[in-house]
Structure 1
Amino acid sequence: MKLYIFIFIFIAGTASVFAQSHRNTGSYNRIGLQGKIMLTSIESSDLEIDGKEGFQGGFTTRGRVYNNWGIVYGIDFLSANVSVQGTGAGQAIDNQIDYNFIGAQLNFFLSYNIIGQNLAIDFGPALLVNGKMKLKDSGQGDTTIAGFSSLTGSDIEEISKINPFVVIGLTGGFENVRLSVQYQYGVTNILNGLNDQDLELIDPAARNFKGTASFISAGVVFYL
């Protein structure tokens, strides 16, 4: 994890110096604060997971480096919510087990100005470092996960802690304020952390978990 962070800081720092060196030629380098509503999705054939609304916010820098091309980099803090289908013991109806995970996400995007400084498309990588998928209600910890005989809600909290994404988005507006829409797609198995928990000892079917996370977010960016 330290290596990833070091690489990000090095690239971002180099790009920032490059952008600053072009300020006198009409380029710019703006620091902004952003806040977004975020919908989380985890696609998995092993668990029935429904996406929920969450929040994403943090710091971003946008700089133009050559003609219509620029860079966008920064750090976001996010709070993501999902629910996993479960069946309560002795009950005939299904229950939704609610989870939350928080994290910090480093991003570094290329940006192309479609209409001057008023509309741009951004794309590139992001690295999410997150905590475990915590139960929002500890009382649901004993609820059996749908599709399993003895796996419960408290058994599936330890998801993978480092997750890279590819991101594409649009930002549009004015020099000091813009609206932003983004789609992020995970390129690794966010449920792989469950495979290190020996869950097959709890339930023989609890093995080889796979899941792909994605985020859709929309919000506003204020540039200082």
Structure 2
Amino acid sequence: MKKFKLYLLVAICSLFVTFSFAQRSSYNIKNGFALGGGLTQFDIITDNFETKSNTGWLAHMSATVDIPHKWYNVSYGMQLSENKMSVNGFASALSSNFEPIDYKILTAQVAFLVHAKLAGPYLTLDFGPVLQYNSDLEFDDEGQEEWFVAEFDSLLAKDFVDITNFNVNGAVGLTAGFENFKIRGQYIYGFTNILGDLNDSNAANFTNKKFKGNQSMLTIALLITF
């Protein structure tokens, strides 16, 4: 059901991006469209666990309004990604060796970005808000569900998967390239507490701790523009 909701959001966002720029305008602007894909490095910045970022993938689409006589362009876009991260854990209560518990998380992001022209259309500084729907944490290896998180040796790894599904982020980055081919790097930081839902779970009841974490996500994508 959660994956169905994620894909439904992607479909709605796609329609929004497509139709937002289908109308005529009296301004001297040029509308563009971009498709692409790339890689992500995802992590959660938190004092509750020892985490490590891993590499995932993303798919990107966006519509751009090119305003020739302004110092900026704007774009509406969305991207779907599968991200990976890990936390330290133990395979059993008797183990003393740390081993990574590998998680993955699906995200659908909708962004409104301003592109400041540093060198005309060939290099821009990109920044703006990002709304995100994401899945709960899922195991790369379901056999690790019964493992123990290192910081909480009385609780299983599966007790820590229920994270906040709607989050508000900010993005900043650079886009460089030519008319039909660009490369974009971004850093996306989560302003909301992505671990907030854990505070209403059994994990909080047993540990008497408040969970807090902020998403940290690096992306690099190759874009074909039309």
Normalised by the length of structure 2, the TM-score is 0.86
Q: Distance in 2 between matches of 1:124 and 1:137?
A: 35
Name the structure 2 match of 1:214.
216
1:70-109 map, 5 Å:
70-89=73-92, 90-109=94-113
Structure 1 runs of 4+ off > 4 angstroms? 11-15, 17-20
Contact 1:19–1:29 (8 Å) recurs in 2: no
Q: Distance in 2 between matches of 1:115 and 1:19?
A: 28
1:134-145 map, 5 Å:
134-145=138-149
Name the structure 1 match of 2:71.
68
Q: Does 1:55 align with 2:57?
A: yes
Structure 2: which 5+ residue stretches go unaligned?
Answer: none
Q: Distance in 2 between matches of 1:218 and 1:21?
A: 35
Cα displacement (A) at 1:69:
1.5
- The correspondence for 1:119, drawn from 112, 115, 123, is 123
Contact 1:186–1:214 (8 Å) recurs in 2: yes
Q: Distance in 1 between matches of 2:184 and 2:30?
A: 19
Contact 2:64–2:73 (8 Å) recurs in 1: yes
- The correspondence for 1:179, drawn from 145, 161, 183, is 183
Q: Distance in 2 between matches of 1:71 and 1:19?
A: 17
Normalised by the length of structure 1, the TM-score is 0.87
Q: Distance in 1 between matches of 2:207 and 2:164?
A: 20
Q: Does 1:159 align with 2:159?
A: no
Cα displacement (A) at 1:19:
8.4
- Report how many aligned residue pairs link the two structures: 214
